Structure 1
């Protein structure tokens, strides 16, 4: 038997607008498709294991990128060569029902699948092309991988192009891709096509080339490259500028050109990226092409046309009258041609044609040839075999080829040749579906071999966040600095964020620095100075106490209640020393002692001052005849006052410490660049209750002393107490707002300073005048002077 494979090829196309002698313009690159078909048929016929006792043949018809031409070719398959009479064909020796590719309108598509209206139409379409969704998702991943979010789109104005715009581009938008422009190219195959290009193409080209988008996705077919070359040539001719865009082309496209475009520059695709159906080299294909020439392949009518247009010459027996043309020898070498004219290696489209023939043969071999009209489609859908390259070939349930896509990088050379370099892949069945080798990519010359940037505006650098521009796409935004306390450590973040605990933003707000732990220590100047001041004041207090002990029998010491004086001086000395508890690394014991020592020692001091003041008043009242105050005069009253006040403060401290004792803790948030290690106050109510009680005692002491300031006391101690309480109250009244307005270790410093200054105020105001008399004016420290001053007062 003799079986025919019919191929509707696109090597010759009609152009009515071109002013030339012949109505045909040859696309020499597509002759490889015919060679692939012939090579596959030859391999099958030479293989005794495939279709034994059957010879495979083929007929090729030219579609001319036109639906009408395709329909005419289909009718010719069912008719005579001269007259279109369906189902009657008298000039062939083969069985008419054995024309494989149009039986029941069965077709194998090696480019993009046509848009079908019904499932019945799809039943007779077998795609030698993977599921297009994988390609579109691969383009999306490629754009996202290189952060090309501001792109242009050019598509062919046909059903597939419309489907791409309506169904695919919205998915791109959802993933953050914005479009600077979406332009359509007129469909080839009509006499008005190039008229539309001339009318519309000029404005469209200017808009595309002047756009801020550096990346353009081109969705088209094999013939789309013809239009692109025309557009880029127009731009270069009119503006003197080369293409400055990076092209990303779909797998349906391939390099094609007219003879008149042969001398045009092909730099417009240098560095471009395209998708291609995954393919491998076909063993023996290169040699098969090399051996083809018009002398050995006289039956190949396409070869004659191809040869004359490829080598720009005429074969001796040509019937076309072309003046000023040289004659061909027929021995010209195809491998001397640049790739822009003809490629010797099988392209992805040729590889698919090669696989299509083998798929039909394996389907035929798997079925009963006597009834293959009804069964061919089912067997073709279920076919599975390994080709000569060792790759498995099969189809999914929708009739699409189960394969992936290669990502191709186009590299051009000055001799009008180019290389297709595989730099990545899309394989939905692989563990890593998307792969790309950035180092292997040659970028367009306009990017100076660096990664092109295609953004609506510059990236927001770390330290800034994106802010929406009203009325603009989401890819167009303002860059706003991060608010204080927040950072952004990547480009184009939508929002800034806070650093983790223990870290703080640097000055540029683009990273976090670790915070250092700080506390008021003896190693720093402030801590050392306060410690020295506390020790100095405690030493002065001890010195004053020693002076009063040494002169305990002098009138001035006796007159001011020696026991209260000693108690007050000892409490002042301890208050100076308790300030040292606030310096150094806080620990649980020191935090507890801080509150206890501060509250109890100051209570003793202030209550002693209060007792001295009350005793002065009572002593004066008791000197009057018949006064009942005499029974209150004595040590018992002073002791009772001090012990009562201390007992009340002890109760306040005990309750506060039992509810919430102080403890060391890390303050992460008070200071920007440091973690403050300090003592927690425990219960704030307890802390301010302690201060409140001390304030109450101080106010009572000040009030009593103020009322008694004019009493005829021999050494005018009431006046000194009044002034000392004024200083004491002023210090602690100013302490509260100052303490609340400071941060970190300086809060501790404020507390220490308040302790030292209030204690020093009591020491200086009450004891320095007496010490002055004892040490400098001893003549005033005698009984006669005391009696004389009493009389003068009375």
Structure 2
């Protein structure tokens, strides 16, 4: 026995007699003969007991008033629930008196049109000889008025046979209920699916999109011809991301459709990198839908884009409040439940809703349906209460036969309906999307019935290959065929359901633009196809979209202005990730795109430009011949190198004069040559530091200066020995030759050569690229390799100069004819002063200044030797020839004694 039996005990014998007579015509859902007899027996007993008790004893449930329905008989009946009215009269319930019956108002044409598509589809199938031949389809239509209670009542009413709303009973002897098409709202569909799922009656919704309904464990008999919100929510998030909106508000009804959908949308939006400014609920149990609070939040928010998951009837109070508070300039992203609404497409909503973009159900064609709508007339459909109300609402008139209207019509308050009004210019023929879904739902049940009818015994899908009979099938048997339905409509649309009862996800992207008549029109600007083979489900034609400012440019919606290139985003504590501050990139880093999260370091040879949005090659710095300093030092070096050569030429020309002969002619020439090389060796410090130049320059400097200082040392030793050798009995006479001088020079140069060879063998100098010393500059210099070797080489030169200085200082009081030691003392003193000063200067200098400092030390120390040793002699030779005589030198020598 399926379910529990609901006993209805009416007061009085008359009521029980009616119950007994009703039981004879009623068939239990199980169709058990035993149960029917038991029910009649039980009713007879109750009748007799009631007779004994009297008319005042008994129990009962108050009968429900069933209104807002339409039926047509048939061999098989298809049920349909539609929110034909989208509003109701709200009465305060205080339970001090009997609550008033619910009264619906404001007939909505789109939903009325959907209801008519069911009637049109049924009539079309009945006229089709190839589909369900010899079977007449009937229908039950019920107006749910967007109320849960009426959705439950309508479902039970159709299950009971269209007479009373009695659970577990079908009081209709001939017609079978195939299934129910409905409802439009997810919450109402969930309630209906819980009831219909108990009996496995097929339910096909044309507008319920909640992902919750895809749960086959909870809703085993639910199907739909509209995609699940799981696809739409992802698509809406992709649409937000496509137009680069990173700061959006979310608005949803407080039912299953809104709440389940908004969760997925919010999650997808956050995953795409955008942020949610606010989430507000449209309270459907409030007459004003909480509109004042919602509009206040929208007004105070900086978000210019609001995603709305709601029905048009629930969203309309919010739009009305937006108009009242003069709030405009927002972009509304519409879900499919109101994206094609006639209710909101009126001219008075243009200021608020123009530029709206959203998802709409992919439309289809129903040949002959518009003609069917145009043929509606109250005189023809007298049994249809909705047609008369539709006529009055469409033409803003009233029929005279309505009570209480005679006085209003007589004084001109209400216009009288003549019946000659023309519907052709009053019906919106553009939007048949939802209507087409209803059409497909009816055909899905029809084709399921057709497959059931064509079943061949022995080859059926049921036990032992049995088939179900069209006159007595069970709901679960038809459910099998609905699951496997697969057919093509007249406009080549393929209809089938997946394992979850969902169709393929296909949406049109529509944009609300002002039409020629001033109303808002929904223009298709793109498509969303989850099964797209290209991998891109969302395709939008940007140039076709017109926004609320009347332009083609997309309205921005961000929490914080975009950070330009050269800046990075810095999060604000306590704020969403989309709310940030812009901070310049750190020194040496760049960002080459807007809203960069991090800045990137340039490569070692690159440096950011002034805007810090791209890396440029660093300025290369080295002491070059193109540099003014390099040119000046090179010119000085070349000029200075000619001075020793000039002096050498003077010495060669005057080599027979006493002053030249008295200053060791051969050592002087060698010293002058080495000084010229010292001046020239500074040139190897100028120019691009090639590897071979790095190897050469310090070695050349060390060896040439070693030769120069060794010559000075040899010259000093020779002077001292020559003076001491003139004393009687001395043994130094044998050391007065050139061998000692050349030996000293050779030894001095050899030791320096050994130091340089070890240096080059262990750690030779190499070019070095320094990107840290100077900002934005790549300093190219020669790394000395082994610093200790460099300082050993320089220290050795200092040692030679120190020995020369000491020896010359001790011999400074020699006779004037041999006063070479005095000049050597001054030259070595100047030489040592220069190089001692060079040490701290070299350590503190950077880049090309290091090479310039060393060149300056080379030139200065070389000039010190030239000036102190040779310039006095040149003055005597060139300008005072009378002093360049033996007599003068001897005279001066005697005067000294």
Given that 1:39 and 1:285 are in contact with CA atoms closer than 8 Å, whether structure 2 keeps it comes out as: yes
- Shift in alpha-carbon separation, 1:615–1:80, aligned structure 2, 3 A: same
- Shift in alpha-carbon separation, 1:133–1:564, aligned structure 2, 3 A: farther
- Are residue 194 (structure 1) and residue 296 (structure 2) matched? no
Given that 1:407 and 1:424 are in contact with CA atoms closer than 8 Å, whether structure 2 keeps it comes out as: yes
- Aligned partner of residue 294 in structure 2, secondary structure: helix
- Shift in alpha-carbon separation, 1:363–1:83, aligned structure 2, 3 A: closer
- The match for 1:178 among 260, 267, 275 is 275
- Aligned partner of residue 604 in structure 1, secondary structure: helix
- Shift in alpha-carbon separation, 1:749–1:385, aligned structure 2, 3 A: farther
1:378-412 per-position Cα deviation (integer Å, ceiling 9, x unaligned)? 43333333333333333232222222333322213
Q: TM-score, normalised by structure 2?
A: 0.78
Superposition map of 1:249-328 within 5 A: 249-254=334-339, 256=341, 264-294=348-378, 297-298=381-382, 300-315=384-399, 321=405, 323=409, 324-328=413-417
- The match for 1:375 among 463, 466, 477 is 477
- The match for 1:149 among 243, 246, 249 is 246
CA displacement at 1:71 relative to structure 2: 0.6
Given that 1:556 and 1:715 are in contact with CA atoms closer than 8 Å, whether structure 2 keeps it comes out as: no
- Aligned partner of residue 152 in structure 1, secondary structure: strand
- Are residue 15 (structure 1) and residue 88 (structure 2) matched? yes
- Are residue 79 (structure 1) and residue 160 (structure 2) matched? yes
Given that 2:508 and 2:527 are in contact with CA atoms closer than 8 Å, whether structure 1 keeps it comes out as: yes
- Shift in alpha-carbon separation, 1:581–1:7, aligned structure 2, 3 A: same
1:93-136 per-position Cα deviation (integer Å, ceiling 9, x unaligned)? 52356767756343222222374697532212213232423222
Given that 2:347 and 2:520 are in contact with CA atoms closer than 8 Å, whether structure 1 keeps it comes out as: no
| Match of residue 229 from structure 2 | 132
1:599-632 per-position Cα deviation (integer Å, ceiling 9, x unaligned)? 3212211222233334344445555555555554
Output the CA distance in 2 between the equivalents of 1:310 and 1:742: 94
- Shift in alpha-carbon separation, 1:679–1:7, aligned structure 2, 3 A: same
- Shift in alpha-carbon separation, 1:278–1:523, aligned structure 2, 3 A: same
Mean CA deviation greater in 280-289 or 572-581: 280-289
Given that 1:364 and 1:372 are in contact with CA atoms closer than 8 Å, whether structure 2 keeps it comes out as: no
- Shift in alpha-carbon separation, 1:787–1:269, aligned structure 2, 3 A: same
Mean CA deviation greater in 749-758 or 94-103: 94-103
CA displacement at 1:332 relative to structure 2: 3.9
| Match of residue 444 from structure 1 | 548
- Aligned partner of residue 612 in structure 2, secondary structure: coil
Output the CA distance in 1 between the equivalents of 2:238 and 2:551: 24
Given that 1:3 and 1:100 are in contact with CA atoms closer than 8 Å, whether structure 2 keeps it comes out as: no
Given that 1:409 and 1:442 are in contact with CA atoms closer than 8 Å, whether structure 2 keeps it comes out as: yes
- Aligned partner of residue 452 in structure 1, secondary structure: coil
CA displacement at 1:309 relative to structure 2: 0.9
CA displacement at 1:331 relative to structure 2: 4.9
- Shift in alpha-carbon separation, 1:594–1:333, aligned structure 2, 3 A: farther
| Match of residue 38 from structure 1 | 119
- The match for 1:224 among 311, 314, 324 is 314
Gaps of 5+ in 1: 237-241
CA displacement at 1:586 relative to structure 2: 4.9
1:199-232 per-position Cα deviation (integer Å, ceiling 9, x unaligned)? x532331221121111112122343332332221
| Match of residue 702 from structure 2 | 599
- The match for 1:766 among 869, 890, 896 is 869
Q: Of the two, which has the highest radius of gyration?
A: 2
| Match of residue 560 from structure 2 | 457
- Shift in alpha-carbon separation, 1:555–1:290, aligned structure 2, 3 A: farther
Output the CA distance in 2 between the equivalents of 1:690 and 1:46: 115
| Match of residue 233 from structure 1 | 323
Given that 1:520 and 1:583 are in contact with CA atoms closer than 8 Å, whether structure 2 keeps it comes out as: yes
CA displacement at 1:566 relative to structure 2: 1.4
Output the CA distance in 1 between the equivalents of 2:486 and 2:861: 98
Q: Which has the higher contact order (CA 8 A, sep 6+)?
A: 1
CA displacement at 1:271 relative to structure 2: 1.1
- Shift in alpha-carbon separation, 1:229–1:525, aligned structure 2, 3 A: same
Q: Once superposed, what is the RMSD of the aligned Cα atoms?
A: 3.5
- Shift in alpha-carbon separation, 1:91–1:433, aligned structure 2, 3 A: closer
Mean CA deviation greater in 116-125 or 544-553: 116-125
Output the CA distance in 2 between the equivalents of 1:66 and 1:648: 109
- The match for 1:696 among 780, 793, 799 is 799
CA displacement at 1:61 relative to structure 2: 0.8
- Are residue 570 (structure 1) and residue 643 (structure 2) matched? no
- Are residue 104 (structure 1) and residue 206 (structure 2) matched? no
- Aligned partner of residue 578 in structure 1, secondary structure: helix
Output the CA distance in 2 between the equivalents of 1:668 and 1:306: 83
Output the CA distance in 2 between the equivalents of 1:172 and 1:142: 10
- Shift in alpha-carbon separation, 1:683–1:329, aligned structure 2, 3 A: farther
- Shift in alpha-carbon separation, 1:517–1:385, aligned structure 2, 3 A: farther
- Are residue 489 (structure 1) and residue 489 (structure 2) matched? no
Output the CA distance in 2 between the equivalents of 1:382 and 1:659: 87
- Shift in alpha-carbon separation, 1:82–1:124, aligned structure 2, 3 A: closer
Mean CA deviation greater in 583-592 or 207-216: 583-592
| Match of residue 239 from structure 1 | none
CA displacement at 1:549 relative to structure 2: 1.8
- Aligned partner of residue 223 in structure 1, secondary structure: helix
